[in-house]
Amino acid sequence: MKGDAIHVIGGGLAGCEAAWQIAARGIHVVLHEMRPVRTTAVHKTPGLAELVCSNSFRSDDREHNAVGLLHEEMRRLGSLIMRAADASQVPAGGALAVDREGFSAAVSDTMAAHPLIEVRREEIAGLPPDEWDCVIVATGPLTSPALADAIGRLTGENALAFFDAIAPIVHRDSIDMSVAWFQSRYDKAGPGGTGVDYINCPLTREQYDAFVDALIAGDKTAFHEWEGTPYFDGCLPIEVMAERGRETLRHGPMKPFGLTNPHPDMSKAYAVVQLRQDNRLGTLFNMVGFQTKLKHGEQVRIFRTIPGLAQAEFARLGGLHRNTFLNAPRLLDKTLRLNAAPRLRFAGQITGCEGYVESAAVGLLAGRFAAAEKLGEPLTPPPTTTAHGALLNHITGGHVETIDAGPRSYQPMNVNFGLFPPFDHALPPDADGKRLRGPAKALAKKRALCRRALEDLDRWIGAGPLAHVPAKARPGLDPGCAPARRQGYAPRQES
Ligand SMILES: Cc1cc2nc3c(=O)[nH]c(=O)nc-3n(C[C@H](O)[C@H](O)[C@H](O)COP(=O)(O)OP(=O)(O)OC[C@H]3O[C@@H](n4cnc5c(N)ncnc54)[C@H](O)[C@@H]3O)c2cc1C
């Protein structure tokens, strides 16, 4: 193995994709995977890219769904993870589900057979040796404690979290502003705010009582035994607060003080749910202090009883899980390097993306960036209009840290259309020449966002360093993994 190899730590979805992308550029890779020498609380096999829970990569609809779009972009970028998923597909309607053992075997076999990839079964139990000048850390939500401690010491206190505490996130345009209103508590501007930063949803006493009852009765998800119970002050699930006393929420996240309902016929609110801007685009708002273990269906049912949220569309629902992740917007640069130690690049769920596909996509980007850096080529991130660019932008800066002096709010996120810059152009009319409305308009908007993304991605690929090199002339590039378009790939039928 040449001394100028790139080291990838973690042979999960992100690490394998990163290694594959690097090897595709003709660069040696050493992939360090600790299993089976040491395992995690959720992995069951020694296989690379093991799917720890569901066998679904979610929707494969590249015309109307953000994760389906991400699939298609990854295929166009020559993704190994998508190639293995397509080859191991099992019937699942519009979703891309896989035979998990076949999928993991396909990835493991490809890694083992690749002449430029060396797989070492060992734990990296601290910061990598100084002589490794280009490293990708892709150790996932269950990074081994020794490495997590070392990263925690390097990045500083509070920069590495061990649990996520996810509050639901709502698409701004689905909130009824004839009921809700913009105002910060006591009109305080605070650092970085304007005094009218929060969306407030008012509840009467009857509505509040019914809401508390629904939270207490609602169906909840239990913690796994290995997760422990990570309750600490400031991070209690709302249903636990509700159980502690009827007034607890009204003196916590739902306090009505310092807020004045401007709508003419509304009486003073007994309680208020506040939503805070979550991304710089202003398209997403999170429900402040609403981390919860309620089941997803229950969250939608109960939160839609909040005045102003009757039609709420959720970009993400709440949760509380064991999860190791960095405060990436603060710590990483635009190409996923750690500001404090640029030889270390991060990929996968440890960057604060969420999900198999998103983890692999961030691995794909990290691999490409690392390879470009090694070859002395410019590191150009994909446009933010693409699913890869939108996700990267969320991780490295698109997220709003805090408007006021509140707690840090960066939490793991799946890809969703709220992360994309809005589509500003007029949508085409319907078949009768009338303006689109309702669900037809929403679908047309998604189609337009997807079309724009794929056009911009193709331009980005076309401008990249591999654009003019024939596949067979690229060292280490398995022709089977060249961008799908160039192999006459026929897009699958959308369901
Ligand atoms: C319990 C649980 C269930 C989940 N269920 C789903 C789901 O159903 N659907 C979904 O889309 N997402 C799910 N996720 C979220 C997430 O997308 C997956 O965890 C995904 O596998 C993350 O990919 P990754 O490559 O970042 O990490 P992983 O796939 O976990 O890969 C990290 C690898 O690094 C190795 N490693 C860790 N520390 C070291 C070290 N110090 N040295 C060497 N190797 C190391 C691990 O053994 C592992 O193989 C789940 C997460 C958890 C924790």
Angle CA 443–447–453, to nearest 5: 145
Count CB neighbours of 169 within 10 A.
26
Q: What confidence score (pLDDT) does residue 192 get?
A: 67
Q: Which atom of ligand 1 is the closest one to the Cα of 139?
A: 34
Q: Is 67 helix (H, G, I), strand (E, B) or coil?
A: helix
Q: How far is CA 262 from the centre of its chain?
A: 36
How many angstroms separate the first and last alpha carbons of the chain? 46
pTM as predicted: 0.86
Residue 404, class by beta-carbon neighbours within 10 Å (0-12 exposed, 13-18 middle, 19+ buried)? middle
Q: What confidence score (pLDDT) does residue 404 get?
A: 55
Ligand 1 probe mutation, 8, 31, 52, 136, most atoms within 8 A of CB: 52
Calculate how far, in angstroms, residue 53's C-alpha sits from the geometric centre of ligand 1.
10
Q: What confidence score (pLDDT) does residue 158 get?
A: 78
Model pLDDT for residues 372-401, shown as the tens digit of each residue: 999 999 989 999 999 999 999 999 986 665
Calculate how far, in angstroms, residue 464's C-alpha sits from the geometric centre of ligand 1.
30
Closest listed residue to residue 135, CA positions, set 388, 342, 303, 293: 342
Q: Which atom of ligand 1 is the closest one to the Cα of 144?
A: 38
Q: What confidence score (pLDDT) does residue 492 get?
A: 28
Residue of the CA atom closest to atom 13 of ligand 1: 355
CA dist 159 and 161 (Å) reads: 7
Length of the chain: 495
Q: What residues line ligand 1, using a CB cutoff of 6 Å?
A: 9-15, 32-35, 40, 42-43, 52-54, 123-124, 138-144, 147, 348-350, 355-356, 359
Long-range CB contact pairs, 375-380, < 8 A, 24+: 375/25, 375/27, 375/465, 377/465, 379/334, 379/335, 380/460, 380/463, 380/464
Residue 269, class by beta-carbon neighbours within 10 Å (0-12 exposed, 13-18 middle, 19+ buried)? buried
Residue of the CA atom closest to atom 29 of ligand 1: 12
Calculate how far, in angstroms, residue 142's C-alpha sits from the geometric centre of ligand 1.
6
Residues 6+ apart with CB under 8 A from 136: 6, 7, 8, 9, 15, 18, 345, 346, 347, 363, 366, 367, 370
Calculate how far, in angstroms, residue 125's C-alpha sits from the geometric centre of ligand 1.
17
C-alpha to C-alpha distances, 263 to 177, 202, 204, 272, 451, nearest whole angstrom? 10, 11, 14, 14, 40
Model pLDDT for residues 138-173, shown as the tens digit of each residue: 999 999 999 999 999 999 867 888 888 889 999 999
Identify whether the C-beta of residue 297 lies closer than 8 Å to the C-beta of residue 217: no
Q: What confidence score (pLDDT) does residue 479 get?
A: 34
Name residue, tokens 């378009």.
485
CA dist 493 and 495 (Å) reads: 6
Which tokens sit at 34? 């600790």
Calculate how far, in angstroms, residue 394's C-alpha sits from the geometric centre of ligand 1.
20
Q: What confidence score (pLDDT) does residue 363 get?
A: 98
Residue of the CA atom closest to atom 3 of ligand 1: 53
Q: In sequence order, what E strands does 266-371 have?
A: 271-277, 284-287, 314-316, 319-326, 337-338, 341-346
Calculate how far, in angstroms, residue 107's C-alpha sits from the geometric centre of ligand 1.
15
Low-confidence ranges of the chain (pLDDT < 50): 1-2, 468-495
